[in-house]
Amino acid sequence: MTTQKLSFIGAGNMASAIFGGLIDSGYPADHITATSPDQGQLDALKERYAINTTTDNAQAVRDADVVVLAIKPQIMKDVCAPLAEHLSHKPVIVSVAAGLKVDTLDHWLGGGHAIIRCMPNTPALVGEGASGLYANARVGAEQRETATRLLEAVGIVEWVEEESLLDAVTAVSGSGPAYFFLILEALEAAGVNRGLPLEIARRLAIQTAFGAAKMARDSDQDPAQLKRNVMSPKGTTEQAVFSFENAGIKAMFDDATRACAERASDMSDEFGSL
């Protein structure tokens, strides 16, 4: 495992999911720095993870090997511009921001940087993340390997060779945890409507999702076949599955992921002006 110095600019949901997962996987906390304007938030993170913290972004990047930009896309430009003069040692830049393109980030940071765009997801916090990565031409094989190893410490990594595909990654896995939480929310409510106490419905729904995901990940059979294996002819499951299919569930996922990917692309225009 690499022990490079990592600095996270922004210490919110996504940053803490990644550094929390890294620390759980054995990464030395004293090699991790996180920044935020909120001293109270930093104190809590220092207490919980024993990482280095500062409200000074410039200080955090000055001797970092890898700088992870984990702030909202709408403030990225304002946060990047003052960092440019502190990046002459050319750390690898990893941006987790939805929508913002590598060329835009490079321009804001003064130019000439090795930049990796990463679309992670919050299950990184429990070591079960899924990240899509794209690198600009300045990123060398060793730097790719570093990014792969860092993100593999908190889940799976898939590289894409076209930047536009990161919008599709966002639509499937970046935003994806919210779809599955929505399904859990709906299934537990349906369980309550069928007469189960909430806590029992919740535990059954969560364990069923977990078991199904584990089966799908570990099985040689594709999800369609695993679904058919549960659907006994003239049994109970087909009633539910036919009901979902008649309601257009596949078209709903198609529409939802299109809207999500389009929003990622629009964000590049909305927040990515040079």
Ligand X SMILES: NC(=O)C1=CN([C@@H]2O[C@H](COP(=O)(O)OP(=O)(O)OC[C@H]3O[C@@H](n4cnc5c(N)ncnc54)[C@H](OP(=O)(O)O)[C@@H]3O)[C@@H](O)[C@H]2O)C=CC1
Where do contacts with ligand X occur on this chain (CB under 6 A)? Answer: 9-15, 35-38, 41, 57, 70-73, 75, 79, 96-98, 119-122, 174
Nearer to ligand X, 12 or 127 (CB): 12
Q: Is 268 in the site for ligand A1CAB (CB under 6 A)?
A: no
**Which of 123-131, 144-152, 169-177, 220-228 is the region at the interface with ligand A1CAB (rule: CB under 6 A)?**
169-177
**Contacts (CB under 6 A) with ligand A1CAB, residues 175-214:** 175
Tell the smallest beta-carbon distance from residue 38 to ligand X (Å). Answer: 4
Both tokens assigned to 107: 């321009």
Q: What is the DSSP letter of 123?
A: G
Helix axes 223-230, 198-218, angle to 10 degrees: 130
At 9 the three-state DSSP class reads strand
Cα–Cα nearest to 83, from 62, 101, 64, 52: 62
CB 94 within 8 A of CB 34: no
Region from 1-9, 107-115, 170-178, 241-249 binding ligand A1CAB, contact rule CB under 6 A? 170-178
- Minimum distance between the CB of residue 120 and ligand A1CAB, rounded to whole angstroms? 9
* By CB under 6 A, residue 33 contacts ligand A1CAB: no
Residues in contact with ligand A1CAB, shown as a per-residue x/- string from 71 to 110 under the rule CB under 6 A: ---------------------------x------------
Q: How far apart, in whole angstroms, are the C-alpha atoms of residue 51 and residue 31?
A: 7
Q: Name the residue nearer to ligand A1CAB (CB basis): 126 or 226.
A: 126
Is-contact 73 267, C-beta < 8 A?
yes
User: Does residue number 174 form part of the binding site for ligand A1CAB (CB under 6 A)?
Assistant: yes
Rounded to whole angstroms, what are the CA distances from 186 to 171, 183, 192? 20, 5, 10
> Is residue 257 close enough to count as binding ligand A1CAB by CB under 6 A?
no
Q: Is 172 in the site for ligand A1CAB (CB under 6 A)?
A: no
Please state whether 10 falls in left (phi above 0), alpha (psi between -120 and 50) or beta: left
Q: How far is CA 8 from CA 11, 99, 165, 247, in A?
A: 7, 19, 24, 43
- State the residues that interact with ligand A1CAB by CB under 6 A: 98, 170, 174-175
